[in-house]
Each structure stands twice: as structure tokens, then as C-alpha cells.
Amino acid sequence: MKAIVTGTTGQDGYYLSKQLLQNGYEVHGLVRRSSNINTFRIDPLISEYGPEGKFKLYYSDLIDSSSITNLINNIQPDEIYNLAAQSHVAVSFKNPIYSTHTSTTGTVTILESIRNGNKDIKFYQASSSEMFGGEKEEKLNEKSKLNPKSPYAAAKVFCHDMTKIYREAYGIFAVNGILFNHESPVRGETFVTRKITQAVGRIHLGLQSKLTLGNLDASRDWGFAGDYTKGMYLMMQHSEPDDWVLATGETHTVKEFASKAFESVGLNWEEFVETSDKYKRPNEVNHLLGDPEKAKNELGWVAETSFDDLVKMMVESDIESAEREKVLLENKLIKPTWEYHT
């Protein structure tokens, strides 16, 4: 089996590529060119499976339609997982055209290539719980109303609808995975969970003194990314294409996440966390809670990792990272610039 994975250098791209390779797939990953090599997450997979083996990488970009179409025509994959996106909601308010353009152009380009080329290629679209808008405290499922609140979410709604349209109009096996927030030790450092666990690691080792966050009252249904990429694969093996929600069915506030993370190293979060409007959004999604019943019944999928285990896994990994940073700092090989980056 051959799969193309867009966004292979991202969090989900790493877990999904790893699981597909372990299942014997040939994985063709798209990497966008940057001035620094940005394959740090997938470097272990490159060492184990590529580049002459089953893990092949290509420079491409969602906006470069011709390169994507050429790759699909040349590779003739069985499955395409479209994970690439400018995935940071707050950044999408600052870069709305780029954020919208990448998601929408990339998705339609792939769907058009399948329609005009080989209609047997299966397509997975990375849809998001962010599309619901999360105004009320309610369980959200595949039938819940979409009410996007950011350029990111509006672009995802467009891609979600186009995936459904290509499924219905052309009989393409095109699925939407409506995934609630999922995190891991390789989560991007400016998403709130990783920002917290990285700070906990550094504060625990005396490398950082304060953590500045935005809205502490927002709540999210947080699961472990490695569980969710298994769900993506199961959707693509289902007899009929459809849309499925993946979630834990539990929600926690940012404050609860921070409290649990600091508590795990014996610290009281209130002594270290301050807030700033800088990290608040022009339009906030206040509350997200998913109902994963359909995925459980039809795919046999459940989120296996508990909230407590997720926090623990991320904090432990970030303590190890902080220990490495401490050695580099002591030897004057790096400077602590993290306050500027988040």
C-alpha cells in the first residue's frame, strides 16, 4: 500500500507516518522548503525507513498545485492524508489570507487531481472541532451546527464541505475526520498545552521564572495525538466514506491543564502563571466537548490515553528537554530566547 501524507513534518504527520510505515505502507511525505531543515520530528523515521527505503520525501507546498498534481500522478497512491495547514488559530487572525489560501487551495487541488486522474484514490481531510465555534457547553457530534470563529476555522469549513461535495458528486472515497484537540510531546511549542508543559520543565530546572498565558477559562477536549492518527487510518479502511468525530468526551479548562502540569512537579501554578491580553484572541472558542460515539460504534475507535496520562507524558518529555537545554546553557551554546517565541 502507498500513502501520500501532506504535513508529514507536523505533529500528526509524525504519528501517522510512523503507524503507516509500521503497517508496511510506503509513505510519501510532502515537506515544504524552509531556510532551516525542519524534519526534526520525522528524523527517527528517516533514519529507520528512508530515503532509499519506504519513507520518501518531496519538496512541495499546498499552494503549488502543479507539484501536488504531478506527485499524485507519478506516485499513484492508494490513500492521501491531507494534514498540512497553517494550523494555529491565533496566527490565522494575523495571516488570514495565507491561512485561508493554503488550506483551501491545497484541498481542492488534491480533490481535483483525484477526480481527473484516478478516482480510486482514497482521501482523508483533517477537519477540526474548531469549526463548531463552541459557544455553549454541549456535546458536539457530526450533526452539530458549524459556526466558525476564525479565518482558520472558516477555511476548514470550506475544505470540509468540498470533501463532502466531491464524495457525493463524484463518488470519491473522501472522508472528514472532525478531530478535537490532540496533543503530544511533539506538539507545536506555541499551542497552549505544550507551552505549559515546556514552561513547567524549564521552571522545574530553574531555567524560566514565569509563564504568560491568555484566556485561562477556555475549555478543550484534549486527547493524545497518537490515538487520533490511529482513528484517521480506521476511517480510511471503513466500508463507506463518511465524516467522524474523534474526541475523548471530557473537557478541561486551560487553568485545569496548567494546575495539573505544575502539580506533577510539586509546584503551585498560581505562583508562576500570569496572563496577558497579548495571548487573547479577537474571537474566542470558549468551550469544546466532543461526542465520539459514532467513531466508537462504527470504527471501534476510542481515545485510549487519559487526560492525566497525557499531561504526565508531556511534562516528563519536557523535563528531559529542559535537562538537555540546561547543559547547552551552562556551556554557553544557546541563549534562552523562549520568552520571545511564544
From residue 118 to residue 147, the character string flagging contacts with ligand GDD as x (rule: CB under 6 A) and all else as - is: ----------xxx-----------------
Cell numbers found for residue 54: 519506504
DSSP for residue 6: E
Which pairing describes strands 55-59 and 211-213: parallel, antiparallel, or unpaired? unpaired
Measured from the CB atom, the residue of 69 and 215 that comes closer to ligand GDD is 215
Active site residue 34: no
In the complex, minimum distance from the CB of residue 205 to ligand NAP, in angstroms, rounded to a whole number? 25
Query: Is 130 annotated in the active site?
Result: yes
- 220 contact choice in ligand NAP, ligand GDD, none (CB below 5 to 8 Å, kind-dependent): ligand GDD
How far apart, in whole angstroms, are the C-alpha atoms of residue 61 and residue 81? 14
Instruction: For residue 111, give the amino acid letter.
Output: L
Q: How far is the CB of 227 from ligand GDD (least distance, A)?
A: 15
User: Is residue 215 a contact residue for ligand GDD (CB under 6 A)?
Assistant: yes
Map the footprint of ligand GDD across residues 165-204, applying CB under 6 A.
Answer: 180-181, 190-192, 195
Is residue 250 annotated as a catalytic residue, yes or no?
no
- Whole-angstrom distance, CA of residue 218 vs CA of residue 216: 6
Q: Which does 195 bind (CB under 5 to 8 A by kind): ligand NAP, ligand GDD, none?
A: ligand GDD
CA end-to-end distance (rounded Å), the chain:
40
Q: Which is nearer to ligand GDD, 17 or 86 (CB)?
A: 86
What beta strand segments (E) does the chain contain? 2-6, 26-31, 55-59, 79-82, 122-128, 174-179, 182-183, 211-213, 219-220, 223-224, 243-246, 252-253, 273-275
Nearer to ligand NAP, 11 or 150 (CB): 11
128 vs 208 by CB, closer to ligand NAP: 128
Q: Where in 243-282 is the site for ligand GDD (CB under 6 A)?
A: 254, 279, 281
User: ∠ at Cα 56 (5, 164), nearest 5°?
Assistant: 15
Residue type, 73: N
**DSSP secondary structure letters along 247-296:** --S--EEHHHHHHHHHHTTT--GGGTEEE-GGG--SS---B--B--HHHH
Distance separating alpha carbons of residues 318 and 303, to the nearest angstrom: 23
Catalytic residue among 99, 127, 128, 144: 128
DSSP type of residue 129: G
Contact partner, 213, from ligand GDD, ligand NAP, none, Cβ < 5-8 Å per class: ligand GDD
* 204 versus 220: smaller Cβ distance to ligand GDD: 220
Looking at 25, 49, 124, 152, which residue is catalytic? Answer: 152
27 binds, among ligand GDD, ligand NAP, none (CB under 5 to 8 A by kind): none
Sign of CA dihedral 31, 87, 303, 166: negative
Q: Which positions ≥6 away from 82 have C-beta within 8 Å?
A: 6, 7, 106, 107, 110, 123, 124, 125, 126, 159
279 binds, among ligand NAP, ligand GDD, none (CB under 5 to 8 A by kind): ligand GDD
For ligand NAP, which residue has the nearest CB? 10
Contacts with ligand GDD by CB under 6 A lie at 87, 89-90, 128-130, 180-181, 190-192, 195, 213-215, 218, 220, 254, 279, 281, 284-285, 288
Residues with a catalytic annotation lie at 128, 130, 152
